[in-house]
Chains A and B, each alone.
Chain A
């Protein structure tokens, strides 16, 4: 059986998350010191060479994003910002919560390193309002960091100062989308902005902003300490490093597992204690609601951003929802489509109307009135495809993802 390999979770369970001293005793803030001894440009190159890709779902090369933010067209005396996306709302995903609850410092140290790299003196952590425990942990950790001088003025006797503040969401999945998050952070309704411009050029307060996921930041201290080459030696060629998968549903030991990228679904299920109930494996949804239904033909595909894409599946946030043979696809898809209908912000017509229509159409798939069920599914794919082409933001383009995968992998079920 494969073993876990922990980077983001290396201290989880080993330290009291309320104690900065325990974090320091396990090597905490050494990466910060090492980073501050280096030129920011060097550090950016290190991140690029590591091949780290965003763990929030998109998989965009992190080093490149850091570089773009650093080179943003604003005059250098403008403020730059670092923002941590801790809005975790993708169904089936709870990795960021685990990091924040068990080792909040590793994420903060990653953010400090990123801030040094682009010389940003203000940072924000945006946490979803329902994550009460994470909020408490982060608040407490920030206070300790200020007390010890890891945040605030003249860090480690340099000219560099950094403030880090907490912001709360208030129950909106869409606010996890980066530009919507920034809009919400500014105190507005969570309506998306049009892209481009990207946050690297016009982010919070329309200033250059580096926005990354909690897990992405949690990898940065390791990369600084061990180097890009060591990082690249793990995982797959195009998706280096480790990934926290949150596996739930019909397995014996559901939970979070940090393993190398390229681990297969079969190996992950084994790590999670194997299948539970029914006559074994039937289906899995990979990546959350904006994720893909897959069948047993994907069990041995290495899970990385590109390797799954070749199978028309996605890695997304690392959510893995497992179903045994007693489960119905119908319920799961219904829940996903209702999720989108609920979370659509309503700003543009194709998505506002489309998400509701898909819920109704799926109802008809269960009890076909016109033609056969497979035909209805094709019609839904047509509608969802139109939504993707005409919607303002990626949420309107999301329903096509599970629908297409159901067509590809479970056509026989309709």
Chain B
């Protein structure tokens, strides 16, 4: 779908902006909101590009940079940190060969730090796109990544 088509599903009211931006971002292959999207949202809502830009830049779930197909949100809030989230994050960085905040060169994964994801009783946790993963350890993280990689390989084969 084009951004135009997505926007037309919403009434042209400013209070719809966050919902619109979520929808636009989810629709883009790079999981991001482009400068052109921002102009279109501004036109549609009859407001300035600067004010839409201000909203996009404020919220941590929105990104202007293209991101991977899978966004990993890794919790580093107190309870996950207490049970080793930091050392897991280090090995995750190593496994993906990127730093937190970066995207792998094959555009498959983006690794983002996150605050509490509300599953502290199953710490340490992370979210990959819309799915939660609990009780993480190094082996489990490797499993999850290789599962996703395999899945993607299968999709590419005819």
User: A-side interface residues toward B, CB under 8 Å?
Assistant: 88-94, 97, 129-132, 167-173, 184-190, 246-249, 254-256, 285, 289, 321, 323, 327, 331-332, 335-336, 338-339, 342-343, 345
Contact B78 A289 (CB under 8 A): yes
Contact A94 B121 (CB under 8 A): yes
- The residues in B between 99 and 128 inclusive whose CB is less than 8 angstroms from any CB of A are 114-123, 127
Closest-by-CB residue of B relative to A174 is B58
Closest-by-CB residue of B relative to A334 is B81
Provide the bound-state CA to CA distance between A314 and B77, in Å.
Answer: 19
Provide the bound-state CA to CA distance between A248 and B58, in Å.
Answer: 30
Provide the bound-state CA to CA distance between A93 and B77, in Å.
Answer: 11
| Nearest-Cβ distance from residue A105 to partner chain B, whole angstroms | 20
| Nearest-Cβ distance from residue A245 to partner chain B, whole angstroms | 11
The answer to whether residues A172 and B59 also contact, given A91-B115, A93-B116 and a CB cut-off of 8 A, is: yes
- Please indicate the chain B residues that have their CB under 8 angstroms from the CB of A339 in the complex: 77-78, 115
Contact among B18, B117, B118, B119 with A170 in the assembled complex (CB-CB below 8 Å) = B18
24 sample A-B contacts, Cβ–Cβ < 8 Å, listed by A number = A89-B116, A90-B116, A91-B77, A91-B78, A92-B77, A94-B121, A130-B117, A130-B118, A132-B130, A169-B18, A170-B18, A170-B61, A170-B62, A171-B60, A173-B115, A187-B15, A187-B55, A188-B55, A249-B79, A254-B120, A321-B79, A331-B82, A332-B78, A332-B81
Contact B62 A186 (CB under 8 A): no
| Nearest-Cβ distance from residue B60 to partner chain A, whole angstroms | 4
Contact among B17, B60, B73, B79 with A91 in the assembled complex (CB-CB below 8 Å) = B79
Provide the bound-state CA to CA distance between A102 and B138, in Å.
Answer: 31
Provide the bound-state CA to CA distance between A255 and B123, in Å.
Answer: 11
- Please indicate the chain B residues that have their CB under 8 angstroms from the CB of A93 in the complex: 116, 118
- Please indicate the chain A residues that have their CB under 8 angstroms from the CB of B17 in the complex: 187
The answer to whether residues A170 and B121 also contact, given A335-B81, A339-B115 and a CB cut-off of 8 A, is: no
Provide the bound-state CA to CA distance between A102 and B112, in Å.
Answer: 29
Provide the bound-state CA to CA distance between A90 and B15, in Å.
Answer: 25
- B21 CB–A CB distance under 8 Å: yes
- B67 CB–A CB distance under 8 Å: no
Provide the bound-state CA to CA distance between A168 and B15, in Å.
Answer: 11
The answer to whether residues A342 and B115 also contact, given A91-B79, A168-B22, A332-B82 and a CB cut-off of 8 A, is: yes
